[in-house]
Structure 1
Amino acid sequence: MADQTLARYVNERSLLRLLRVEGATTRADMARQLKLTPATVTRLVAEMAERGLLREVARPAATEAGREPGRPGVAVALAPDGACFLGVEIGVGVLRFALIDLAAQIVSSSERKVSSATSPAAVVAIIAAELAALSADPAYQGRIRGVGVTVPGLVTLDGFVVHLPILGWKSVNLSELLSAATDLPVLVENNAAAAAFGAVYTEPRLPSLCTIFLKLGTGLGGAAIINGRLMRGAYGTGGEFGHIRIAEDGIRCSCGQSGCLETFVNLAALARETGDDQGAGLADLVALPAAVAGAAAAGEARALAAIETLARHLARGIVVLVNIFNPTTVVLGGVMRPILPLVLPLVERDVAEHIVPGMRMPEFRLSSLGIFECAIGAATLAHQRAFGLPELGTGEGES
C-alpha cells in the first residue's frame, strides 16, 4: 500500500509538471511522455480533476492524427485557480506580495511601505494580516496552499536567518515565527536565490541547463540553478556571489572584507561614480539608475563613464562564475534594471574576452519578472515544494 501511495504521489507531480511545461496535452500524449499506461493516466486525471487541479479543454483536430477535420479533440490542462501560493519579499523599508496560481502565473501583487527598523515579529504580523485578507477573498478562499518569504541576507536550509545587517537582524528563527502565525506550509529563502529560481521556474521551456542569476541593488546577491535545482550548498548559505573578491582593496564590505564584487557594482558604487553620493538616502539611491539611464541616453559623459565602470567590474565577477559553472544562461535583475540594457552589451564584450579560451559563452538575459521578482520567486518555491519532487531527484528542487 505504501508503494502504491508513493507511486501515485510521483505520478501526480510528474503529470502536473508536464502540463505546466508543455501546456494542454492529451491523455495519450501524457501516457507516452510519462511512460504510464493509458488506464493509469485516465485514473489520475479523473482524481485530480475532481480535486480541482485539472480540467478538460478543446484541442483542434489538426493536432491529433486520425481525427476527422473540424472535429475537436479533448486535451487536459492545469486548472489555474486550483491552487495559489503567496510570495513575500522582506526588503529595506518595503514588503512586496505576489500571489501565483497553479500555472505559476501572477494573479495579484502589492507592496507596503514599512520602517526599515521594523522588528521580525512586527513584519510577521503584517504578513499574517495580508495572508488572512487574501484567504478571506472569495477568489482565493481555501486555495492558498503555501507561503514563501525572502530576506536579503544569509538563510539556512531550515529558514533560520543567520545575518541580515541591512535590516539589523541577526540569529532570527524566521521560519518558526511564520509557522506560529499560519497553519500553511512556509519557507524562508534568500531573496536573490528566490528571484533566480523564479526566473527559471516561470519560463520552463527556455533552454537552461545551468543558470547564473545576479540581483543588483543595495548589494549584489546571486544564485545558481542547475538542471532545475537551486544550488544552496551544504547548509543553505551558498551563492554569496557578491563577495567574490575582485580587488586587493576598496570600500569595506558589509561582510567586513575589502575588494568584494558587490561594493563595486551596487547602488552606492553607482552614486560614487556619478557624484550623487553626498547625503543620498535609500529613496535617492533606488531612483538613481533611472536617472543615470536618462542621462546616458542624452549622451552625458559622466553617466556613460559610470555605466562603463560598473560593467567592467561586474564582468570581472561574471568571468569567475562562468569559468566555475560553465552556465548556459546568465540573468541580471534587481533595482539596477533601468541601466542594465546599457550594461549588458559591455559585460558580454568583456566576459567574451576574459573567460578561459574555448569556454562556451553563455546567453545573457535580463530578468522579465520586474520589481516583484523576489516575491514571485518565493511563491514559485512554495509552488515547487507543494507540487514538485525535490526529494526524489526528478530535476526540480534544492540541493
Structure 2
Amino acid sequence: MADQTLAKEVNERQILRFLRLFGSASRADIARHLKVTPASVTRLVNGLTMRGLVREVQPGAKRGRTARDAGRPGVALALNPNAVFFLGVEIGIGILRYALIDLTANSVATSDVHVSRTITPEEVVDAIAAHIAMLEHDVRYAGRVHSVGVTVPGVVNLEGFVINLPILGWKGVDLLTPLQAAVDRPCFVENDAGAAAFGSVYTMPELQTGCSVFLVMGRGCGGAAVMNGRLLRGASGATGELGHMRIARDGAVCSCGHRGCFESRVGLDALARSYWGTDDLAEAQFEVLSTEVAERFSSGDPAAIASVADLTDWLKLGVVSLANIFNPSTIFLGGALGPVLSLIIEDIRQDVARGIVPGLPAPEIRLFSLEPYECAIGVAAIAHQRCFDSSGYGPYAPGQSLRRRWL
C-alpha cells in the first residue's frame, strides 16, 4: 500500500510539472509522457481535478503539443491558475518588494513599500505579516496563499539564518523562525541572486536540464548555479557566493573583510576606484556609473577605456574559472554593470572559449537584465517548486491550518 501511495504521488507530481512546462495536454499526451495506461491517467487526473489543481480546457493552443493521434483531439487538461498562490518578498535597501505568482508560476500581483534603510529583522517580519493579512482580506487570494519565500542580499544557510548581511548590519540572524510563526504557513529564506537566477530558469523548458550559471554584478557580485532545474545549494545552503572567489592575493578590502575577491575586481565599487580613483560615491552616482563609463568608453575617453579593459581582464579570469568548475551550458551575466557588459560581451565569449579546459565545449554566454521584481518573483518560484511538486495540497478554507510539504 505504501508503495502504491508513493507511486501515485510521484505520478501526480509528474503530471503537474508536465502541465506547468507545456501549458496543456490531452490525457493521451500525459499517458505517453508518464508511460502509464490511459486508465491510470484518468484516475490521477480525477484526483487532481477534485482538489482544484487541474481543469479541462478547450484543446488547441499548447506550448509543447506532442499528440500523435489522428482525428479529433481529446479534451485538454491544464493547471488551474487560481488554485494556489505563492508570495515572494525581496528585502532591499530601503525597500520591500512583493510578488505573488499563481499555480502556473505566472506573476499576478507586485507591489513595493519604502522602509528604513536600517530596518530590523523584527520590522521585516511585521511588514510581511501585515502584507499576508492584507492578502487574506482579498477574496481572490484568501486561504490560497500557500507559502512565503524571502530574499536577502547576503549569505543565508538552509535553516533560514542570515549568516552575514553587512549592508543592513545583520549577522547570525534567525529570520525564518519568527517569520513562520507570524504568518502561519511554510516560509524560507534565500540569497537574492540565487532566487533571481532560479526564477529565470524555472519557466524556461529549454533550461530545465543541464547547468546554467548566473553572475549578477552591482555594488556586490552574487551568483548561482542551477542544475537540472534545481538551485545548487551546497552543504549548508550558502553556495553561490561566486563574488568571493579568491582571484588575487591583494587589492581592496572586500565586503566580506578579505582581499583578492572576485567581487572587489568586477563590481561597481571596483569600477569607481578604477575610473574615479575612489569608491566613496553617493548612491545616485553608483546608479549611473556603468552607463556613464560606457558612454565615455564609446566616445574614446582614455580613462574609461583603461577602466573597462581592467574590469574585462578580471571578469574573463573569473568566468573562465566558473566555466571550468561547473561545466555549464550557459553563463548569464547581468546586473547594474549591464551597460559596460554589453560593450565587452564578445571579447569575453572569445577569451572564455580559448581559456577553458581543452576539449570541453564552450558555454554560451548571454547577457540578462534584472527587472525590478526579479528577486521577489524568483523566490516565489522557489516556493512554487518546493510545494508544487508535492501535489498534496489544494485550495484552503479560510482559517484552515497550512501544513508544510517538502520535496
Match of residue 345 from structure 2: 344
Query: Are 2:397 and 1:362 equivalent residues in the alignment?
Result: no
Is contact 1:334-1:371 (8 Å) kept? no
Is contact 1:208-1:329 (8 Å) kept? no
- Residue 210 of structure 1: CA displacement? 0.9
Kindly provide the CA deviation profile for residues 353-372 of structure 1, in whole angstroms up to 9, marking residues without a partner as x: 32222221101123355232
Kindly provide the CA deviation profile for residues 202-247 of structure 1, in whole angstroms up to 9, marking residues without a partner as x: 2133365011111111211111122222222111122221111122
Q: Which moved more, 1:365-374 or 1:320-329?
A: 365-374
2:375 aligned partner, one-letter code: C
- Residue 296 of structure 1: CA displacement? 4.3
Match of residue 85 from structure 2: 84
Kindly provide the CA deviation profile for residues 132-191 of structure 1, in whole angstroms up to 9, marking residues without a partner as x: 223322232222111111111121111111111121001111101211210121011111
Match of residue 41 from structure 1: 41
Is contact 2:249-2:260 (8 Å) kept? yes
| Counterpart-to-counterpart distance in 1, 2:113 and 2:277 | 27
Match of residue 395 from structure 1: none
- Residue 374 of structure 1: CA displacement? 1.5
Match of residue 326 from structure 1: 327
| Counterpart-to-counterpart distance in 1, 2:305 and 2:80 | 48
- Residue 297 of structure 1: CA displacement? 5.0
| Counterpart-to-counterpart distance in 2, 1:214 and 1:370 | 15
Match of residue 21 from structure 2: 21
* Number of residue equivalences: 390
Tell me the SS of whatever aligns to 2:200.
helix
- Residue 266 of structure 1: CA displacement? 1.2
Query: Are 2:152 and 1:151 equivalent residues in the alignment?
Result: yes
Query: Are 2:261 and 1:264 equivalent residues in the alignment?
Result: no
Tell me the SS of whatever aligns to 1:364.
strand
Is contact 1:58-1:72 (8 Å) kept? no
2:274 aligned partner, one-letter code: E
Match of residue 120 from structure 1: 121
Match of residue 176 from structure 1: 177
Match of residue 232 from structure 2: 231
Return the TM-score normalized by structure 2.
Answer: 0.88
| Counterpart-to-counterpart distance in 1, 2:387 and 2:208 | 24
| Counterpart-to-counterpart distance in 1, 2:66 and 2:7 | 31
| Counterpart-to-counterpart distance in 2, 1:165 and 1:237 | 15
Tell me the SS of whatever aligns to 1:248.
coil
Is contact 1:87-1:378 (8 Å) kept? yes
In the TM superposition, what are the counterparts of 1:184-263 in structure 2 within 5 Å? 184-206=185-207, 208-263=209-264
Tell me the SS of whatever aligns to 2:147.
strand
Q: In structure 2, do the counterparts of structure 1 residues 98 and 333 end up closer, same or farther at CA, with 3 Å as the change threshold?
A: farther
Is contact 2:29-2:67 (8 Å) kept? no
Is contact 1:192-1:223 (8 Å) kept? yes
Q: Which moved more, 1:338-347 or 1:294-303?
A: 294-303
| Counterpart-to-counterpart distance in 1, 2:99 and 2:126 | 17
CA RMSD after TM alignment? 2.5
| Counterpart-to-counterpart distance in 2, 1:128 and 1:296 | 47
- Residue 256 of structure 1: CA displacement? 1.9
2:51 aligned partner, one-letter code: R
Is contact 1:53-1:82 (8 Å) kept? yes
Q: How much identity, in percent, do the aligned residues show?
A: 53
| Counterpart-to-counterpart distance in 2, 1:308 and 1:60 | 52
> Structure 2 regions of 5+ residues with no counterpart?
392-405
| Counterpart-to-counterpart distance in 1, 2:134 and 2:201 | 29
Match of residue 393 from structure 1: none
Q: Which moved more, 1:319-328 or 1:359-368?
A: 359-368
- Residue 278 of structure 1: CA displacement? 6.4
Tell me the SS of whatever aligns to 2:135.
helix
Is contact 1:199-1:369 (8 Å) kept? no
Is contact 1:21-1:205 (8 Å) kept? no
